[in-house]
Amino acid sequence: MRLGVLDVGSNTVHLLVVDAHPGARPLPAHSHKAELRLAQLLDDSGAIGPDGIDRLIGVVHESLQAAEDKGVEEVLPFATSAVRDARNADDVLARVRAETGVELQVLTGAEEARLTFLAARRWFGWSAGKLLVLDIGGGSLEIAYGIDEEPDAAASLPLGAGRLTAGWLPGDPPAPDDVRALRRHVRTEIARTVGEFSRFGAPDHVVATSKTFKQLARIAGAARSAEGLYVQRELKRESLEGWVPRLSGMTEAERAELPGVSEGRAGQLLAGALVAEAALDLFGVERVEICPWALREGVILRRLDHMESA
């Protein structure tokens, strides 16, 4: 069947269309996305304003039309931290439902981490052993660890690249004092969770997903996306530590000129790099392998599993 996953994320609203059936690898057929940066549209009270809701509804309408045009049989709609953490989340969901007919499922941070872990486990297989999975989104950082398809530990921290950029790095380029303050904040937050994972022992394989990690790996020398999904890509902590001070001194326009960095993501790349550097350092990781699959694929795989069991 042809499935569509409608991901209302903190940076983008992304419709991924795949051809799938139980027991088979989902094959991407179409992608439709729009950058809304909901994580950066929150007002001082933490609510998504009327303009942001109107734009979200418009993009959902466009995504539904794209799904219809591509012959999608079922759309799986969900929202992550930007909607989850908004003070007026219930109002946002009600308006989307009333004006589009879409019932957005708001995932908890732990659900995000578990579904992303499932996708990474299916991609790398059982031979990867104990997996540690890191995912930096626009609104949150997800961490999961385990040896099965369900992680033994999963955590979600409010350390998304978009959220941190909006709240901590107002300058372009940012002031050194602001960068240092954000670095301290990020490391304090991550350090609080390390013990929850370290009690399970060292992982056999460390995996990173998300656009932020992919872009950081690309500027550090990883293969271009045009070279295909099956090219191994990794990010070394040593390379990342060399890039953080360089990114700190760049303007948003200068970052946008780096290989693999999109204009829409350039502004939040530094915050993402600070989170990535802190996570690798505090978890004692020298390198991470980039996984092409992440949350959207996890949602698809879970749906296919339910179909098969039914």
Name the percent of the chain lying above pLDDT 70: 100
Taking the whole predicted model, whether its pTM rises above 0.75 is answered as: yes
pLDDT tens-place string over residues 68-96 = 999 999 999 999 999 999 999 999 999 99
What is the structure's pLDDT at 310? 64
Least confident of 141-145, 149-153, 179-183, 300-304: 300-304
Would you say residue 44 has pLDDT above 90? no
Cα separation, 83 vs 93, in Å, equals: 8
Mean pLDDT of 15-42: 89
**For residue 280, pLDDT beyond 70:** yes
DSSP bridge partners of 145: 132, 153
The band of 254, judged by pLDDT with boundaries at 50, 70 and 90, is very high
Strand positions, DSSP E, the chain = 2-8, 12-19, 27-35, 74-79, 105-106, 131-136, 141-146, 153-157, 205-209, 234-236, 287-290
**Residue 309 reports pLDDT greater than 80:** no
154 near 197, Cβ under 8 Å? no
Flag whether pLDDT at 41 surpasses 80.
no
Predicted confidence band of residue 27 (pLDDT cuts 50, 70, 90): very high
